[in-house]
Structure 1
Amino acid sequence: MKIFKYIALACMSLGLCACESYLDVGVPKDEVASGLAFSDDKVATASVTGVYARMNQLNYQFANVLSMVLPAMEADEFAYAAQYAAYDEYKNNAVLPSNQFLGTLWSQPYQYIAQANMCLEGLEASTAISPQVKSQLIGEAKFLRAFCYFYLVNNFGAVPLILGTNVSENNVKGRTPEDEVYTAIIDDLKDAKAKLFDGYPSGTDVDATGERIRPNKGAATALLARTYLYAGKPDLAEIEATEVINNPLYKLLPTTAMDDVFLKNSEEAIWQIQAVNTAGGRNTWEGFLIIPANLETGTALFRLIPNYLYDAFESGDERHEHWVGKITTAAGVTHKYPYKYKARFGVTPVAEYTMVLRLGEQYLIRAEARYNQGKYAEAEDDINTVRQRAGLSLLSLGNDADAVREAVEQERRVELFAEWGHRWYDLRRWPSVNGTAGKTRADDILPALKPGWQSNAIYLPLPQEATMSNPNL
């Protein structure tokens, strides 16, 4: 499906190449050719969907590799196989404001937020777009804005909340408290859910059966479930996750199809980012970076950490068999690496897209939400659903709250590893179980792996360029 046919036109009309400051959250309104960008359904659709291509056009971007490898190294999942100062800062949880990747984690979400804000203003003002297309596109723009703020607030804590296109105000805005950012994310997702359709859009057909590469009502519901969980609203998280789980569009693939979970348009996929730079048969940037060039004699650049993720899987766990790769050196040393994506290069037609939201996470969101409400038996049911798919025996934990909590943590660890920083965000948001007030699970676990660990490392510093360009940060 060619959803990006009008991208170049839309991007030019929105002035997206203009960068006047490091926090580039918009261009002056007189530079936005709104009559061109929102003059009909096709061009308006391209104005919104163009952001998906920008997200995945190049390697080492916020929306692909960086949101996989950097938080995994901040946590206890895997590390780079060689010494590289920029990576080592994340591995050691000692990231400097000058880190070469830090600016991308900050600036790119704000660029996508800028496009969402401009599109929202243009869509609301346009009278040339059909009502259904307008509803879908407003929903997508609000979903994208919420998605970007979710990662900004979890990486940096309090961040500027930019909801308009006034550059003079935006470029000097200070940091907004986390709870206010979460409120804005929830508001956007509730509105997106109300405006999006059940199907997956294809061009201007907003309720189609297209590829799962544009957000639909299910995607907004799934991200809302996660956001409610992170925001300490487990009852609401349970409701939203249940809605996704009961949606017939989605199902967990069976144990015999573990290798198919991350294929494009997998039935488990709720939202994926389409592969757009496929030269030489490249599929995902994650697969291109992580998978060794030679599966027999190559070198794994990112290796699971021994005594941590390396050894976290139970015997017989099919996730270890299918989602962890193994390379044995000539000296007989085996290295393990993430292998959820199977296509590195030379695979045509494209078989894999970057997975962003999937059904397995929704079961674990609901399990944690139920645990937080004291619904231990129901939480156990969700945990066992995920375990059963992985080929493991079912648990029988009764009303043992500690055992249920440990099971939630374990299943999230081995189900969601190497996906969008789940393990890192879990460690930084969960309270310590050692009885120390104000500490997190990161404080419980990481000091043994990282002798220089400090509790304030649960937040990244703001990039040097950002604080230099905006003193109010």
Structure 2
Amino acid sequence: MKSIFIHLKQGLIALILLTSCENFLDLDTPNTQLVSAEVFEDKKTTDAALLNIYASLRDSGLFTGNNSGMTYLLGLYTDELDLYSINLLGQKEFYEHTLSTRNELVLTTWNTSYNQIYRLNALIEGVEKSTLLENQYKQTVLAEAYTMRGMLHMYLTQLFGEIPYITTTDYLQNKIVHKTPEKEIYERIEQDYLTAEELFLKGTKNTSKTRLNLTSLKTLKAKYYIQTKQWEKAKQHANDVIQTAGVTLEQDLSKEFLKESKSILWCFSPHLATGNSLEADVFMLNALPPAFVSLKPTFVNSFEKGDQRKEIWIKKLNNNQGTWYQPYKYKAPNTSSTVNVENSVLLRLAELYLIRAEANFQLSNFREAENDLNLIRKRANLPMLSNLSQHDLEQAILDEYKHELFTEYGHRFFDLKRWNRLNELQNSIPTWKPFMEKLPLPEKEILLNNNLKPQNDGY
């Protein structure tokens, strides 16, 4: 895939042929050749198209749990992970902070994300035009699609800065697309989320944790409002999710990532019914010294004494050559010989308490912020905070983000960036430079579309 134009065309083919996972080949369509209108003639094929996109998010691009997703790459980029492999050349550039405009992982992230966005746009257009689908069902499917489209653009702009905001399948328009100013990007993200909210309220109620619903949308909106410094809205949306019936903060940390956890707001279904998360496999230390990655000792040592998150979510392994630390939030291997006990968790309740704490801090409600931090700290068996200074409370919020959400979709990078504290990484990573707050735009994309110029500073 060499350009937005090329991979958008491939995205349409993938949507039309429905040849990806999740039992999509069981469709009763001759030779799997569907014209786009046929896809949206009934619920079965429409569901297949939508689930195909969920599967794509799970298996590739920003949100995958393998070694090309944000969890892995931004863990190496910040102060979470050490890299041992000499063969993972693209990951090595992230780890050593030598990213070039030709990095294949950056290009893959860009192309895969826009491929997914194109599929969403094709689905939106097809469902909106359909006269055969039941109306409430249509609204729910559209709500999920608008939510995913806004989410993908939100993460892309946090990584790259100005990017194209794609809302059409018109290839003539997309192949010469310009970058959208960041202010307009965030306005469009909010509009997609607001559209999705209206549709969710009108559509068929969905409580499945493996599909987006009104609760997970409100979580993404809380993340959006905290990112755009709309503190009151962030607080209100966090409140709404925290008060949702059936959602509670899991007190037993060993159960936080089990599929039955009441803290989970949105997770991916595994590829196989007996599968588990991709993260469990990618972080598993099958031999020592590690072949690929482990947690940095400095990161592990940053936990307070007695923090149960360190004891339960980090696995210590050693031999006569040294000691290493494995991220151990996910414990079940992702093989066909197991049973499904864990799914990759994208959104969970603990983050909402931290968002509310951050919003309260920015609104000068310092004691309320402390109260939310203490709810998170209590289940980690840590002492309660009381009457911290403003400076110490700010640091406490960042520390709780750091220790609660490590190795989860690049949280460390995004949280430090939001607080304008990314450059503090220089204290432990001498190769860190201020311009690295943005990734380089892929050179291949700029060569094919000059409207994507200029390149981000420093590259």
| Paired position in structure 2 for 1:420 | 409
Q: 1:342 to 1:26 in 2, by over 3 A?
A: closer
Q: 1:148 to 1:189 in 2, by over 3 A?
A: same
Corresponding position: 1:465 with 2:444: yes
| Paired position in structure 2 for 1:41 | 43
Which of 213, 224, 237 lines up with 2:234 in the alignment? 237
| Paired position in structure 2 for 1:193 | 197
Count of residue pairs the alignment pairs up: 428
Which of 137, 140, 162 lines up with 1:158 in the alignment? 162
1:207 deviates by 2.4
CA distance in 2, matches of 1:116, 1:303: 35
CA distance in 2, matches of 1:456, 1:95: 11
Q: Which moved more, 1:461-470 or 1:155-164?
A: 461-470
| Paired position in structure 2 for 1:339 | 328
- Give SS of 2:190's match: helix
Which of 17, 21, 24 lines up with 2:6 in the alignment? 21
Q: Which amino acid aligns with 1:456?
A: F
1:75 deviates by 1.1
CA distance in 2, matches of 1:134, 1:38: 10
- Give SS of 2:6's match: coil
Matches within 5 A, 1:21-420: 21-22=6-7, 33-57=35-59, 62-65=63-66, 66-83=69-86, 84-196=88-200, 206-210=204-208, 212-254=209-251, 257-277=252-272, 282-293=275-286, 299=290, 301-307=292-298, 309-331=299-321, 333-346=322-335, 348-398=338-388, 400-420=389-409
- Give SS of 2:266's match: strand
Contact 1:387 1:394 in 2 (8 A): yes
1:342 deviates by 0.4
CA distance in 2, matches of 1:62, 1:77: 18
1:41 deviates by 2.2
Contact 2:225 2:231 in 1 (8 A): yes
- Give SS of 1:114's match: helix
CA distance in 2, matches of 1:62, 1:471: 28
TM-score by length of 2: 0.88
CA distance in 1, matches of 2:148, 2:308: 33
Give a deviation string over 1:159-210, Cα, whole Å, max 9, x none.
0011111111111111111121111111111221222269xxxxxx942554
| Paired position in structure 1 for 2:19 | none
Q: Which amino acid aligns with 1:55?
A: L
Q: 1:235 to 1:341 in 2, by over 3 A?
A: same
1:27 deviates by 5.0
1:301 deviates by 2.9
- Give SS of 1:82's match: coil
Give a deviation string over 1:323-381, Cα, whole Å, max 9, x none.
011110223x2111211110124452211111101101010011101111111111111
Q: Which amino acid aligns with 2:75?
A: A
1:390 deviates by 1.0
CA distance in 1, matches of 2:341, 2:112: 26
Contact 2:65 2:72 in 1 (8 A): no
1:300 deviates by 6.4
Q: 1:362 to 1:19 in 2, by over 3 A?
A: closer
Contact 2:200 2:214 in 1 (8 A): yes
| Paired position in structure 1 for 2:28 | none
Q: Which amino acid aligns with 1:191?
A: T
Q: Which amino acid aligns with 2:205?
A: D
1:26 deviates by 6.2
After superposition, the CA RMSD in angstroms is 2.4
CA distance in 1, matches of 2:174, 2:10: 7
- Give SS of 2:104's match: coil
Give a deviation string over 1:285-317, Cα, whole Å, max 9, x none.
1111111236xx67363222232x121111111
Q: Which amino acid aligns with 1:283?
A: N
TM-score by length of 1: 0.85
CA distance in 2, matches of 1:193, 1:469: 36
Identity score, percent = 30
- Give SS of 2:450's match: coil
CA distance in 1, matches of 2:198, 2:187: 17
1:467 deviates by 1.2
Contact 1:235 1:369 in 2 (8 A): yes
Contact 1:229 1:365 in 2 (8 A): yes
| Paired position in structure 1 for 2:425 | 446
Contact 1:289 1:344 in 2 (8 A): no
Contact 1:298 1:327 in 2 (8 A): no
CA distance in 1, matches of 2:191, 2:386: 38
1:455 deviates by 0.6
| Paired position in structure 1 for 2:456 | none
| Paired position in structure 1 for 2:22 | none
Q: Which amino acid aligns with 2:295?
A: L
Q: Which amino acid aligns with 1:366?
A: R
CA distance in 1, matches of 2:432, 2:4: 36
Contact 2:275 2:339 in 1 (8 A): no
Give a deviation string over 1:20-69, Cα, whole Å, max 9, x none.
525658659xx8834311112222222222201222346x7653331111
Q: Which amino acid aligns with 2:224?
A: T
Structure 1, gaps ≥5 residues long: 1-15, 199-204, 432-440
